[in-house]
């Protein structure tokens, strides 16, 4: 698969794919007749990169995570720590928004209650 095909299929700008290549994360990517060629292993790595991006990892965090992945077994603990940190941050954000919703619902309830009082009078 060419870089253009990978870009189109995964909806990743070509510039981003080239950045990932600079990181050395897609080791099997080869240039054939002047075009990048991605094999199945590269596409699996791109899929993982996109998952990390989707769950909120910044580019530098993705790069670090992917380098640990390339190292193999020794980086598993660190990758798990990174995922745990992101999970904790996500839960904190969820709880923040739950509290925000509770406040919004309280204000909505109060307005409705006041409206009911006015209509009774």
- Taking the alpha carbons at both ends of the chain, their separation in whole angstroms is 73
Strands 30-32 and 35-37: antiparallel
Highest mean pLDDT pick, 25-34, 53-62, 93-102: 93-102
Residue 24: pLDDT above 80? no
Check residue 116 and give its pLDDT.
Answer: 93
Q: Would you say 3 and 14 are in contact if contact means Cβ atoms under 8 Å apart?
A: yes
| pLDDT: which is higher, 39 or 48 | 48
| d(C-alpha 68, C-alpha 3), whole Å | 24
Between CA 70 and CA 24 the distance in angstroms is 10
What pTM, to 2 d.p., does this model score? 0.71
Distances (CA, A) of 70 to 23, 63, 84: 11, 11, 20
For residue range 76-102, what is the model confidence (pLDDT) as tens digits?
899 999 999 999 999 999 999 999 999
Q: Is the pLDDT of residue 74 over 70?
A: yes
Average pLDDT of the chain, as a whole number:
86
pLDDT (0 to 100) of residue 89: 96
């Amino acid at each position: 698969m060419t870089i253009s095909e990978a870009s189109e299929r995964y909806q990743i700008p070509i510039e981003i794919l080239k950045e990932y290549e600079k990181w050395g994360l897609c080791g099997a990517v080869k240039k054939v007749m002047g075009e990048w060629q991605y094999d199945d292993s590269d596409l699996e790595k791109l899929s993982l990169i996109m998952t990390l991006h989707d769950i909120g990892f910044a580019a530098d965090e993705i790069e670090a995570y992917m380098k640990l992945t390339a190292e193999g077994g020794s980086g598993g603990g660190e990758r798990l720590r990174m995922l745990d940190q992101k999970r904790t941050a996500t839960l904190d954000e969820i709880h923040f928004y739950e509290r925000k919703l509770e406040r919004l619902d309280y204000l909505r309830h109060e307005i409705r209650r006041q409206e009911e009082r006015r209509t009774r009078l």
